Structure 1
Amino acid sequence: MSQNGLAFNCAVITGGGGGIGRALAEYLISKGKKVLLAGRTESNLKSTTQEIGAAGEHPELDCLINNAGVQRPIDVLKNDDFLEKADQEIDINIRGPMHLSFALIPHFKTKPNALIVNITSGLAYIPFSVINPVYNGTKAWLHFFSMNLRTQLKNTKIRVVEIAPPMVESNLHRERENPDDNKKEHAPHTLTMEEFMGEIVPKFEKGDDTIGAGMAAKAIDTWYGAFGGLYEGAAKSYI
């Protein structure tokens, strides 16, 4: 299995219209990759699953980047509509990447190299953002899903990579009372998109399996330092 992070030709990126998805698309295009963009809504993700699940329209597809995500503040003591919000977060943040990954694995198995990239969060490791209990949980799910999927696919040509952003300047907080509270003037530890890409690109190109930036990189190092060996020991018995 190649450890060259760029050992693929054509990527589909969910949620590629803005933020991290757009930055990843621009980066991959600069590297000569073909990029397909998909929306982040539940209906668009379902449509994407149906359209590319068999990869008939895009036989060259050999990379899936599950970037689409939504973050909705929820106060269980005040909100009376949080169940609907929570279900939408679960549909987009969990069912979307799960369905797309499972749909494309049979096709990816036919490729010399293939890649599944899941965009999680530093909040998957330490849920600092208490107002986002469902979002934090969905990103923790995607982190552990990535680990287990990587283990199950370790004897194939399909790599599974997790990228965990810290707080990055974007429109992710658009539903908060202050949608700009992830900007540097309000949160000095926030990374600009340029800073974020500058940290993750060398790790991605090197072929790292778990990639973090800023505070998220520290959280990853702490988690794997404490539990990584235990997991690796258990994973060895799988295959």
Structure 2
Amino acid sequence: MAEKGKADGAYDEIERMIIFQEITPGSLVSESMLTASTGFGRTPVREALQRLAREGMVQIHPSKGVLVPAASVDTQLRLLELRRVLEALAVELACGRAAGEHRREMAAMVDRLKHEEFTLGTYLETVKETHHLIVDAAANEYLADALAPAQALSRRFWIAHMREEADQISRGSTLHGRILEAILARDDSAARAASLALNDYLVDFAYAVLGHLRPPRNKDSSAA
């Protein structure tokens, strides 16, 4: 396997460990522990940690270790403010730019979201694939770089505070499916509305963690 491929593999495995809290939030871990846990060598683990640090998933403290910061509701809400704008742009661009292969993969993904019986792990991978499909179809690498950390940190928060797993997976599958269906129809207005509806769900989820109702929504967030 090429070194780049190893770094990607180390990234995926460490991200999974963080998201599923196999590494306790607020704890310090060492590169050697991660090397042993993932099965990857020091260089790919180090490259993966640098990428995760850029995305805000870890903080690297030389001579001390790697800190996995705790996820807070306040941080999640600020992330969702950014994600809201970027994802609305991504789906609008994808409506006009999605090529034949993108559209075939999106159609297959819609079918999976409607009919597959997901575990939490397989659902999470499907969501990541869906996000990658949309960003690839949008054909803007700068947008991809900006969205990736917001989506990864949002997934981490969602998993950390998951309750009523089957219901949440069902709701998320429906919302993601609606976005893809609108892109396939090349309906940028419907795609934007579906993207905002997903964001509204995630914001409501964050407020529910606090035991609070969300404040009244702005006009642009009312369409589902």
Does the pair score TM above 0.5?
A: no
- The structure, 1 or 2, with the larger RCO (C-alpha pairs under 8 Å, 6+ apart) is 2
Structure whose residues are more often helix by fraction: 2
TM-score by length of 2: 0.26
Structure whose residues are more often strand by fraction: 1
